[in-house]
């Protein structure tokens, strides 16, 4: 049986990884339905297998079996491994102070929109003193408003540093609905219709003494309603030998 099993969220796919093993082939499986008989989806002699053609926002479960040189196949792996593929990409937003066009972002459409568009979730602005991202408020019915929430998740060298969003109205969201944009910081967004998203600032274009003109971000959006998973769940790395007894004193 493969030593360990993990996965990586990708757009329309999931990469399944497993620890080293003295086997000739590993076969990957996914369930065909909620009753959970697994269907074989492929085989590889490597330690990774990419399951492609998946649907964004649909959670799938995976298992792996090992086959030795004599053709004997192990039972399916027992780790509870699942993922929900989600869209991701990069974009550049304009400063709404200079014009509303292209200043906003609609996560559900994966598209830049005008700052004043009813589909705008967040928009970029800079007044010459500070760069900010503003989360909008959506009027869902006459006189009824639901906010998009936003918070700073801190510095990181990769957007993958953010794996899950906090959940709940008191989970650290900005009370003003805006955050200062800082290069290489990650941010989390909870949309008005109960989706989770994240983005990382990769660059801000500015001339000294003038307001910034552009903000460059990389983003990811979870299409499954209420699912706060934004990256593959970490698992222990497989080792090739048992742990020895170690006395502390």
pLDDT tens, position by position, 63-91: 777 777 777 877 777 665 666 666 789 99
Task: State the pLDDT at residue 194.
Answer: 95
Tell me, yes or no, whether 229 lies in a domain: no
Q: How far apart are CA 225 and CA 205, in angstroms?
A: 34
The total number of residues written for the chain in this structure: 249
185-224 per-residue burial string, b: 16 or more CB within 10 A, e: under 16: bbbbbbbbeebbbbbbbeebebeeeebbbbbbbbbbbbbb
Task: State the pLDDT at residue 9.
Answer: 40
Same domain for 197 and 158, yes or no, is yes
18-56 per-residue burial string, b: 16 or more CB within 10 A, e: under 16: bbebebeebbbbbeeeeeeebeebeeeeebebebeebeb
Residues spanned by the domain of 124: 88-221
What pTM was computed for the model? Answer: 0.68
Looking at mean pLDDT, say which of 23-27, 59-63, 195-199 comes out highest. Answer: 195-199
Same domain for 107 and 190, yes or no, is yes
Tell me, yes or no, whether 245 lies in a domain: no
Tell me, yes or no, whether 248 lies in a domain: no
Same domain for 101 and 211, yes or no, is yes
Tell me, yes or no, whether 117 lies in a domain: yes
Same domain for 53 and 96, yes or no, is no
Tell me, yes or no, whether 238 lies in a domain: no
Neighbours of 151 (CB within 10 A): 18
Same domain for 160 and 99, yes or no, is yes
Q: How many domains does the chain have?
A: 2
């Amino acid at each position: 049986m493969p030593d360990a099993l993990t996965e990586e969220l990708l757009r329309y796919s999931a990469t399944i990884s497993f620890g080293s093993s003295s086997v000739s082939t590993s076969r990957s499986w996914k369930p065909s339905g909620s009753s959970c008989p697994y269907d074989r989806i492929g085989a590889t002699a490597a330690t990774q297998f990419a399951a492609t053609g998946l649907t964004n926002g649909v959670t799938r479960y995976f298992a792996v079996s090992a086959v030795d040189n004599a053709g004997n196949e192990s039972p399916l792996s027992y780790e509870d491994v699942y993922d929900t593929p989600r869209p991701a990409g990069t974009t550049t937003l304009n400063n709404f102070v200079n014009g509303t066009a292209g200043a906003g972002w609609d996560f559900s459409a994966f598209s830049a929109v005008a700052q004043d568009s009813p589909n705008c979730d967040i928009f970029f602005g800079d007044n010459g003193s500070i760069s900010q991202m503003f989360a909008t408020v959506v009027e869902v019915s006459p006189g009824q408003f639901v906010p998009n929430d936003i918070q700073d998740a801190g510095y990181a060298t990769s957007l993958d540093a953010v794996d899950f969003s906090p959940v709940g109205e008191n989970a650290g969201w900005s009370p003003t609905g805006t955050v200062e944009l800082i290069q290489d910081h990650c941010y989390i967004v909870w949309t008005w219709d109960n989706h989770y998203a994240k983005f990382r600032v990769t660059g801000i274009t500015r001339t000294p003494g003038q307001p910034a003109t552009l903000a460059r971000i990389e983003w990811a959006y979870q299409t499954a309603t209420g699912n706060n998973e934004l990256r593959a769940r970490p698992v222990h790395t497989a080792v090739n030998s048992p742990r020895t007894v170690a006395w502390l004193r």
